[in-house]
Amino acid sequence: MASPPQVLLVAPERSYRTGAYVRAAADLRIDLTVASWGRHPLAINSNGIRLDSESVDHVVSQIQNAAAEHPFSAVIATDDGTVPLVKAISERLGLSTNGSRALCASTNKAAFRTACLEQGLPSPAFFVVRPNEPADPCFERVGFPCVAKPLSLSASRGVIRCDTQGQLLNAVERIRQLLSQENPNAGQEILVEEYLCGNEYSVEALLHDGQMEVLAIFEKPEPMTGPFFEETIYVTPPQLDSHTRASIKMILHKMASALEFREGPLHAELRISEAGISFIEVASRTIGGRCGKLIEFLTGTSLETWVLSNAVRQSIRPRATSDAFGVMMIPVPKAGVLRRVEGITNARKVKGIVSVEVDVREGQKLIPWPEGGPYPGFIFSRGTSATEAASALRAAHDQLVFVTAPEFSVKVA
């Protein structure tokens, strides 16, 4: 009997994704080793590796020593923050991985725009505002409306639409404050780019040896026009004709190839307007939050199972269904300290609702976008069409009431 494949999962301490990968590996009979930081590493069958340094070189050597006894056939990153490390590990172990251009495009929004220009791919006008530099040069370079955004934050945090010079100057200062609060030692660069009009979609795909398999295209039926871009509803399959779907796949594959994406998950955000298909970002990761559950609803197989199967070259046949599925990332209604959430039971009774999952607890501070995060919870739906699935989500959300109290600052003498 052949030995089960050995896969290394690199995860930040307490990553919410790790458990799903552990369950998927058990179902696929894959020997999964989890490498993580922290006092208590996430050990699977005593194969856990405690990463004892933040140094990339040290960690790579540590993994290489472990692989000498039990060679890994693949290395997977759970989160954005571990993507660079996984690339370095894969290269040291001689495993197939994405190129350097893909790594830059995945982790830095300005690098993505620059790479697109270098490869002759469509890209809006953009300008990078450096720390302690004015945003004035953007006025002629980019024009209005435009969008200002930090280079690395995810979930649309810090993304602000600006229609005037005054709005842009205010947005730059607001983003700088957010970045300083997040990590004073991190880069403070801000990307300002031409606003892309059109309806917004996202794509979840897998790459193996440069070949792409699209798992799902998600439609975002709520208007994404700003001034902030807190995401709410995703539905799949989208209301797109076959020609448009084929065009999305073709252009994404061309972009992935040009930017050296060759292995693993691929997540893309795009807009479709009269001018055509414009990509907002492409990254070597899976969709964030619990939105990946839609992949399981649609295909019958969890997103983590798809990723692991792709890594070890096991094929999966998706389940056929004519239904549509949706998720709402419950928006933050207003700033304040949560007292309670009312209407959860009524929301769960709405026709078409699969589940309502509220994560916030009493006493938790709620912060709206663009500074906000995380989402208070998720609502999932099922319907005969994308429209029906989205309508169920809106109806369930209407039942929820977030009761908050203002936050008071206390000075200690």
Single pTM value for the model: 0.91
**Edge-to-edge strands of the sheet including 336-342?**
365-366, 336-342, 401-405
Residue 310 in contact with residue 379, Cβ under 8 Å? no
How far is 220 from 236, CA to CA, in rounded Å?
A: 9
Of 259, 237, 236, 240, nearest to 248 by C-alpha is 240
How far is 295 from 216, CA to CA, in rounded Å?
A: 7
How far is 218 from 269, CA to CA, in rounded Å?
A: 9
Strand ranges for 285-358 from DSSP E: 324-329, 336-342, 353-358
User: Helix or strand or coil: residue 346?
Assistant: helix
The tens digit of pLDDT for each residue in 86-109 reads 999 999 999 999 999 999 999 899
Domains of the chain are 6-97 (3.40.50.20), 99-118+196-288 (3.30.470.20), 125-194 (3.30.1490.20), 322-406 (3.30.470.20)
DSSP bridge partners of 128: 191
Tokens of 293: 């559950």
Burial 294-321 (b: 16+ CB within 10 A, else e): bbbbbbebbbbbbbbbbbeeeebeeeee
As a residue count, the chain comes to 413
Q: What's the half-sphere exposure (Cβ side, CA atoms, 13 Å) at 48?
A: 19
Residue 256 in contact with residue 208, Cβ under 8 Å? no
Residue 338 phi/psi, 5-degree rounding, is -70, 130
How far is 306 from 92, CA to CA, in rounded Å?
A: 25
Residue 49 phi/psi, 5-degree rounding, is -115, 120
Tally: H helices and E strands in the chain: 12, 19
Task: Taking the CA atoms of 15, 20, 23 and 24 in sequence, report the sign of the dihedral they define.
Answer: negative
Burial 94-130 (b: 16+ CB within 10 A, else e): ebebbeebbbbbbbbbbbbbbbbeebebebbebbbbe
Strand ranges for 177-256 from DSSP E: 190-194, 199-208, 211-220, 233-236
Per-residue pLDDT of the chain (413 residues; tens, 9 = 90+): 578 899 999 988 777 788 899 999 999 999 999 998 876 555 444 568 888 777 888 889 989 988 888 899 999 998 888 899 999 999 999 999 999 999 999 989 999 999 999 998 888 999 999 988 888 887 888 999 999 999 888 878 999 999 999 999 999 999 999 998 887 777 789 999 999 999 999 999 999 999 999 999 999 999 999 899 988 999 999 999 999 999 999 999 999 999 999 999 999 999 998 889 999 999 999 987 789 999 999 999 999 999 999 999 999 999 989 999 999 999 998 899 999 999 999 999 999 999 999 999 999 999 999 998 789 999 999 999 999 999 999 999 999 999 999 876 655 55
